[in-house]
Structure 1
Amino acid sequence: MSIDIAHIQLRRMSMRLKHPFATSFGTIQDKDFFIIEAIDSAGRTGYGESVAFSSPWYTEETVETNLHMMQDFLIPLLKTNTLEHPDDISRLFAPIRRNNMAKAALEGAVWDLYAKQKGISLAAALGGTRSHVAVGVSIGIQPSTNALLAKIDQYVQAGYKRIKLKIKPGQDIEILTTVRNAFPNIMLMADANSAYTLEDTHHLQQLDELDLLMIEQPLAHDDIIDHATLQTAITTPICLDESIQSLTDVEKAHQLGSCRIINVKSGRVGGLSESKRIHDYCQKHHIPVWCGGMLESGIGRAHNIALASLPQFTLPGDISGSARYWEKDIINPEIVVQDGYVTVPDGPGIGVSIDETALNTYTTEIKSFSMDHKA
């Protein structure tokens, strides 16, 4: 039986983060993105979220390119084809090169709608096995070391299971050493967002004294060759993020020894179906995976929680509570962290209700597409 999709709406959103988020690339405070609504003939709505940023600093995609790809290429493909299962979408979209975040946004809405039509949770539809998932927190570059230590202490006291610090040349070893001395027992990792090269190998070898869980994406955003060279020179496990955009990338990175851990972001790899395939490969080859975050609203966060319920997500993900990011999220109840865990919703689909008032408040534009004339 095919998935019933009568309409798709692209709802452009603008939400202000509580606090600016600084990385080696720059600072973000206002989040511009799309909520995708896939609506069936019975009025049920599946929700997806685009995770591209306004500028192409993380990947080549932006909010504007997502809009272009969705309305001019991807939605027409959905309109003229029948889907038996959400896994069909990745094959349907395959002729469109890259643009993984645009693909994932639409696919996520269909996954949610599919689960609601089946009367099961998204986690169950994906094959999730956990009722709770451990969460970590990602802390942007802070104005001072004291401010950083205070923020870490705040999150440790709140029960977060892992602390991730953004680093860049000039703001790395000394800061990490200070943090490790102040918090000798926390699960600590560093995220470099491609800020280093192989010329920094000797410098990065100093990380081996700090008992880090991992260093995430230290070298070029599209590299798996130099990472393999670096991994042979350091004992700290390398985790790949931006370099992994498909299962094929995971297979090559594993064969080359480019990393020991994989960060899975549904938007980056093209959707939940490809995320599942990556998970299954990593489970077979005993590679730990964890769910990365992209400053999502509660809708994207609920998708991440469902994904992180799969069994090989053995490391805490970047799935912080709503209140850390937003004065008011667009879901009810908001995502809450308790003792370092979030509960996996067991209601149909993403398992959270949409706060329609908040959703409309943050909406700046709506584009609607009828899906009634399928071939």
Structure 2
Amino acid sequence: MKLTGVELRRISLPLVSPFRTSFGTETTRDALLVRVVTTEAEGWGECVAMAGPLYSSEYVDAAADVLRRFFVPTLAAVDQLTAVGVARALEKFHGHRMAKAALETAVLDAELRAEGRPLARELGAVHDRVPCGVSVGIMPSIDELLEAVGNYLDEGYLRIKLKIQPGWDIEPVAAVREHFGDVLLQVDANTAYAVSDARHLARLDPYNLLLIEQPLDEEDILGHAELARHLKTPICLDESITSARAAAAAISLGACSIINVKPGRVGGYLESRRIHDVCQAHGIPVWCGGMLETGLGRAANIALAALPGFTLPGDTSASSRYYQTDITTPFTLEAGHLPVPTTPGIGVEPLEPELAAVTTHTEWLKL
């Protein structure tokens, strides 16, 4: 397979409601899509970088630049291109995992489409549907939080994740637990705390949470190991896990007992599968996180979440959780689950009218 062309497409989708975290508030999803054209087939990938370097050092404009100047020209020079070979070809370039993931996914989509194989089967999926949780941002008030959580439970979501930060942690958790009883509940701190907050975070222990996600800075692996000794609530790592090697190190140091796998954060779905395998070997459960993906990224995430080690509901919510109109056929919740795509490649492709309506810029890279 030979790369013959690449399109970079910027889109802007309004969210159905503002999404507040410790990083700030998002009202739109400004995303970068990658379409590759090869001698065998076309494929799509979605870059999950945010508009600014808030969740990680990556951001959309930088992703487009590194794809345009370095990654695409490098792959264009490869005569026998395969998805497995993308990481090897780009290995000399440091970082930019989200941009690499988008390009690798597009190549993987094209390769699997050409061969008539679905992504779920390629990765090793064992389920035809996956259980779904939902992430609830920081709310202006407890009453609004309880209303939002109640609505999501009524829709059928099986697990609730609450974003927390200093000043918005114990009270909202207590309110949700008291109001909704034994619902599956977890919290996500997005690096908002320090080891010195151990005594305060231990106040979450009585609420029987599934986990507390990424309480400390992404580079503070030893701090997480120290914090784990003071909490009964299991610690899950997100931002700290950038590769299978990082996952193995965190596990061996006792820094976590659960891992959130986000394909964009780790460089793609092939590395995500390696992380899954490492965790399975160590008896560590994993679940699939979300980055406000459109239907393109959501389809691939669902395929990943169908692997055997994904034993906790992920953030693979229905399309309507974030978007009034998605750019693909929407994913609809059925009894708390979403179906795993079964057609070749990632299993979906953009709907032309919907894609055109939200496109803000397109760029064709001549090879």
Query: TM-score scaled by structure 1?
Result: 0.96
C-alpha distance in structure 2 between counterparts of 1:70 and 1:84, whole Å: 16
Match of 2:18 among 17, 20, 28: 20
Are 2:190 and 2:214, in contact at CA under 8 Å, matched by a contact in 1? yes
Q: How does 1:146-165 map to 2 (within 5 A)?
A: 146-165=143-162
Are 1:83 and 1:89, in contact at CA under 8 Å, matched by a contact in 2? no
Match of 1:173 among 164, 170, 173: 170
Are 2:132 and 2:159, in contact at CA under 8 Å, matched by a contact in 1? yes
Match of 2:342 among 346, 349, 364: 346
Deviation string, structure 1 residues 73-115 (Cα, Å, up to 9, x no partner): 1001111113453122112211111110010010111111111
2:82 corresponds in structure 1 to: 85
Instruction: Give the C-alpha shift of residue 45 in structure 1.
Output: 2.1
SS in 2 for 1:6: strand
2:358 corresponds in structure 1 to: 362
Match of 1:281 among 278, 283, 297: 278
C-alpha distance in structure 2 between counterparts of 1:306 and 1:109, whole Å: 15
1:335 corresponds in structure 2 to: 331
Matched letter for residue 14 of structure 1:
S
Are 1:238 and 1:261, in contact at CA under 8 Å, matched by a contact in 2? yes
Instruction: Give the C-alpha shift of residue 370 in structure 1.
Output: 3.8
Instruction: Give the C-alpha shift of residue 324 in structure 1.
Output: 1.6
Match of 2:213 among 213, 216, 222: 216
C-alpha distance in structure 2 between counterparts of 1:363 and 1:125, whole Å: 31
Matched letter for residue 276 of structure 2:
H
C-alpha distance in structure 1 between counterparts of 2:289 and 2:108, whole Å: 19
C-alpha distance in structure 1 between counterparts of 2:347 and 2:158, whole Å: 24
Are 2:224 and 2:255, in contact at CA under 8 Å, matched by a contact in 1? yes
Are 2:44 and 2:349, in contact at CA under 8 Å, matched by a contact in 1? no
Match of 1:311 among 308, 322, 338: 308
Deviation string, structure 1 residues 202-243 (Cα, Å, up to 9, x no partner): 001111101000000001122211000000111100000001
C-alpha distance in structure 1 between counterparts of 2:89 and 2:38, whole Å: 20
Matched letter for residue 31 of structure 1:
R
Matched letter for residue 357 of structure 2:
T
SS in 2 for 1:345: coil
2:181 corresponds in structure 1 to: 184
* 1:76 corresponds to 2:73: yes
SS in 2 for 1:57: coil
Q: CA 1:353 to 1:55, structure 2 compared with 1: closer, same or farther past 3 Å? A: closer
Please say which of residues 350-359 and 294-303 is displaced more in the overlay.
Answer: 350-359
Matched letter for residue 317 of structure 2:
S
Matched letter for residue 364 of structure 1:
T
C-alpha distance in structure 2 between counterparts of 1:153 and 1:273, whole Å: 36
C-alpha distance in structure 2 between counterparts of 1:22 and 1:68, whole Å: 28
* Structure 1 stretches lacking a partner, 5+ long: none
Are 2:97 and 2:265, in contact at CA under 8 Å, matched by a contact in 1? yes
Matched letter for residue 235 of structure 1:
K
1:8 corresponds in structure 2 to: 6
1:30 corresponds in structure 2 to: 28
Are 2:128 and 2:340, in contact at CA under 8 Å, matched by a contact in 1? yes
Are 1:90 and 1:274, in contact at CA under 8 Å, matched by a contact in 2? no
1:266 corresponds in structure 2 to: 263
1:324 corresponds in structure 2 to: 321
Deviation string, structure 1 residues 300-338 (Cα, Å, up to 9, x no partner): 111111111111111111011111211111112x11111
Are 1:50 and 1:104, in contact at CA under 8 Å, matched by a contact in 2? yes
Are 1:321 and 1:336, in contact at CA under 8 Å, matched by a contact in 2? yes
SS in 2 for 1:219: coil
Matched letter for residue 6 of structure 2:
I
Please say which of residues 152-161 and 258-267 is displaced more in the overlay.
Answer: 152-161
Matched letter for residue 250 of structure 1:
A
Are 1:90 and 1:273, in contact at CA under 8 Å, matched by a contact in 2? no
SS in 2 for 1:368: strand
1:46 corresponds in structure 2 to: 43
SS in 2 for 1:361: helix
Query: TM-score scaled by structure 2?
Result: 0.98
Q: CA 1:235 to 1:168, structure 2 compared with 1: closer, same or farther past 3 Å? A: same
1:144 corresponds in structure 2 to: 141
Matched letter for residue 59 of structure 1:
S
SS in 2 for 1:335: coil
C-alpha distance in structure 1 between counterparts of 2:134 and 2:20, whole Å: 14
SS in 2 for 1:194: coil
Are 2:170 and 2:203, in contact at CA under 8 Å, matched by a contact in 1? yes
Are 1:261 and 1:287, in contact at CA under 8 Å, matched by a contact in 2? yes
Matched letter for residue 32 of structure 1:
D
* 1:293 corresponds to 2:290: yes
